[in-house]
Structure 1
């Protein structure tokens, strides 16, 4: 078993890499270093700050269809008020970096425990900067830090895990998937209670918190999604649709877009059906099952979505990092594929996003590469999760092998 002393040189190297890469990200969002491609910080300085001014009045931006988030997202948008000595955008970037640091601290704490690994902290340290400055120009890194905390609390503090998952779901919905591999009722109860309390508080204090549910009705297919590849190719064969900024993202609009969007919804439903089937069939739950299942579920819902924005990869990096804290995880290959997809993502946005919008050879190639890596990661993760948790045939399932933590595993 590795000792803390033996890990110390690698720990200092990890911290040095984190500090260097995050300094680069901060220099990029502060525009000291000009990152190739369009300015990714405009979402903060224009859109988020506009929402901030509305939210300060005690209401949600009900007249803005680009507001497509659960009510607790208002907390992230309002958070720069914690640093009144900075401008809005500058404060937001600093807080995004703080959330990034919090994610690292949690992964280090978990990775330095007996029987755990620092591989998770390395995945976070390397994966986040691979996405470029977009990470600090969206609030997804804040949500992901909450998700990391939730999954790391699952084994020893199930109620805390549930409360954090419920809070995360009220920030950006997807953290509800963290519960897919959790068997303790206390976690589910805590999640429901937390979400219900937050929903009630926001409904009383700021009416209109759930108007976002109707704002995505007329969305098209976003140009970076898996389904968009149909139209990228079709544009070269006479398809007469358009590429427009719609609902806050660049989307395809025109003939057959509705059909492709419907297929995407069908695939999302199929993913949910597979997860339900897995949940009913799985009997071998180990210390890493909750993290592996959450990673697989979020991969499935990301790949089948009609929108795959670059910041979505932050979610996957965070969940992959939690998986790799565990020695028994089966998600090493999917995590590696996600890291490769992050590199492809920063190339398609923002570096060569103009080529993606133009549907030229470079743009389409980058999308095929990125989305292909995500599909491969999803299929691999699903296969590995099934093999690890579902017995191969009739008979009593073999008990899971506990991690070597020096403690007796807690029963579910």
Structure 2
């Protein structure tokens, strides 16, 4: 007679293939989407019922209430975010402060549906289902921040833009601009697209249209002097605890080295590191970030020129190169940053999700690494955050592992831009051009 454990394993082995097949149907993906967001709703239900807010939403709601009383961010004061961030922040208060959390969550559901629809071609493109499930998994892996920060709106816009770069370049440019006016990081996507795409003028036109509209509204209401305040308002801050560059001072504190400490910044409501050389490191990364950007753009130009010379710069090849460049530029924004907030992982995850649609083979291993980064990020914040600020070795080790993986992904992106395309990839592109292989093989 079979043991209970053996019977359970056999049932699981029968159930798993059926579940996977269901997951890759329209009904299955819609069900998964609903379940993920229902879990989030249930987790926040106790907050919604009492009219509370979680994550960064208490601050967002405060800004929205101040705006309703005539004191607008950007218009009446310098603000840490670009002006476009006011759109979701104000939209969430449409039915009053009490329902702020609920309305925000509903807006997030709509934003994530845009991402899923873009990745799957409105559920018709089955090769996008892996990417769609990956994006849903990221929502769970980064649950403490994925739907409670402004990145939750910028990331789906970035996904749609990257998917539509070739077919709808003007719309893609508009979406990238809209995302950039919410959080600055999608500017890295714009830089990669403009550097590589043969349709760059359409992308630029779409971006300029949105930017002109946002800037025009701000200037018309008298906020022109604060339009770019987000770029300078936090320029003098110290190294944040979770930033990759702060890792040596975290461990100096763990090891009890003289002068090293983790301290509270009460003005910015964050934890920072201090110690010998910490201030100099902050100045160094401030200079290294634009230098890294310039180097990456040179590598992109070099890769594009090589592809032109070899005759392999097809629209698909352009899109692949844009994704690599966008990942490298965005990773540079994290690696060479004095801040290391957990939501920064939502800067990279959208690029990986689109990569799984455009070139699944090339991005599968990166997706695995990125999933681990997201998991470790949530372990750091909020699970191990209190031990971390007390310099507990285990918490510091988890943070170290996360930062090493982030730097490793950045290194991969640089190598991917530097390394010449293999003859296999070039051959595949040429075969696709001549029609000697099925079109579906291009993905």
TM-score by length of 2: 0.79
Task: Find the residue that maps to 1:348 and give its secondary structure.
Answer: helix
- Residue 188 in 1 paired to residue 204 in 2? yes
* Counterparts in 2 of 1:70 and 1:29: CA distance versus 1, 3 Å: same
- Residue 147 in 1 paired to residue 158 in 2? yes
Which residue does the alignment assign to 2:220?
204
CA contact 2:153–2:179 (8 Å) conserved in 1? no
Task: Find the residue that maps to 1:345 and give its secondary structure.
Answer: helix
Q: Which stretch shifts more, 15-24 or 105-114?
A: 105-114
Query: How far off its partner does 1:156 sit?
Result: 0.6
Task: Find the residue that maps to 1:137 and give its secondary structure.
Answer: coil
* Counterparts in 2 of 1:213 and 1:267: CA distance versus 1, 3 Å: closer
Q: Which stretch shifts more, 234-243 or 361-370?
A: 234-243
Spell out the pairing of 1:231-250 with structure 2 (5 A cutoff).
231-235=249-253, 236-245=256-265, 246-250=267-271
- Residue 97 in 1 paired to residue 117 in 2? no
Spell out the pairing of 1:94-243 with structure 2 (5 A cutoff).
94-109=106-121, 112-113=124-125, 116-179=127-190, 180-181=192-193, 182-183=196-197, 184=199, 185-207=201-223, 208-235=226-253, 236-243=256-263
Which residue does the alignment assign to 1:326?
358
- Residue 22 in 1 paired to residue 37 in 2? yes
Spell out the pairing of 1:68-79 with structure 2 (5 A cutoff).
68-79=80-91
Query: How far off its partner does 1:405 sit?
Result: 7.7
- Residue 368 in 1 paired to residue 396 in 2? no
Which residue does the alignment assign to 1:3?
none
CA contact 1:51–1:61 (8 Å) conserved in 2? no
Query: How far off its partner does 1:189 sit?
Result: 3.1
Query: How far off its partner does 1:118 sit?
Result: 2.2
Q: Which stretch shifts more, 87-96 or 251-260?
A: 251-260
Which residue does the alignment assign to 1:36?
none
- Residue 59 in 1 paired to residue 90 in 2? no
Which residue does the alignment assign to 2:295?
274
Task: Find the residue that maps to 1:288 and give its secondary structure.
Answer: helix
* Counterparts in 2 of 1:328 and 1:119: CA distance versus 1, 3 Å: closer
Count matched residues. 391
Greater gyration radius: 2
Could you tell me how far apart the structure 1 residues matched to 2:114 and 2:86 are? 20
CA contact 1:41–1:134 (8 Å) conserved in 2? no
Query: How far off its partner does 1:212 sit?
Result: 2.5
Query: How far off its partner does 1:240 sit?
Result: 4.6
Q: Deviations over 1:31-59 (max 9, x none)?
A: 479xxxxx9915212x1111112233262
Which residue does the alignment assign to 2:282?
261
* Counterparts in 2 of 1:282 and 1:7: CA distance versus 1, 3 Å: farther
Task: Find the residue that maps to 1:221 and give its secondary structure.
Answer: coil
Which residue does the alignment assign to 2:418?
386
Could you tell me how far apart the structure 2 residues matched to 1:266 and 1:291 are? 25
Query: How far off its partner does 1:72 sit?
Result: 0.9
Task: Find the residue that maps to 1:223 and give its secondary structure.
Answer: coil
Could you tell me how far apart the structure 2 residues matched to 1:392 and 1:23 are? 45
Query: How far off its partner does 1:346 sit?
Result: 0.7
Query: How far off its partner does 1:252 sit?
Result: 2.4
TM-score by length of 1: 0.84
Which residue does the alignment assign to 2:92?
80
Query: How far off its partner does 1:328 sit?
Result: 6.0
Gaps of 5+ in 2: 1-19, 308-312
Choose which of 389, 392, 397 in structure 2 pairs with 1:357.
389
Q: Which stretch shifts more, 157-166 or 202-211?
A: 202-211
- Residue 307 in 1 paired to residue 322 in 2? no
Task: Find the residue that maps to 2:264 and give its secondary structure.
Answer: strand
* Counterparts in 2 of 1:405 and 1:279: CA distance versus 1, 3 Å: same
- Residue 294 in 1 paired to residue 314 in 2? no
Query: How far off its partner does 1:280 sit?
Result: 1.8
Q: Deviations over 1:257-296 (max 9, x none)?
A: 3211122223313321221211220123414332332223
CA contact 2:262–2:271 (8 Å) conserved in 1? no
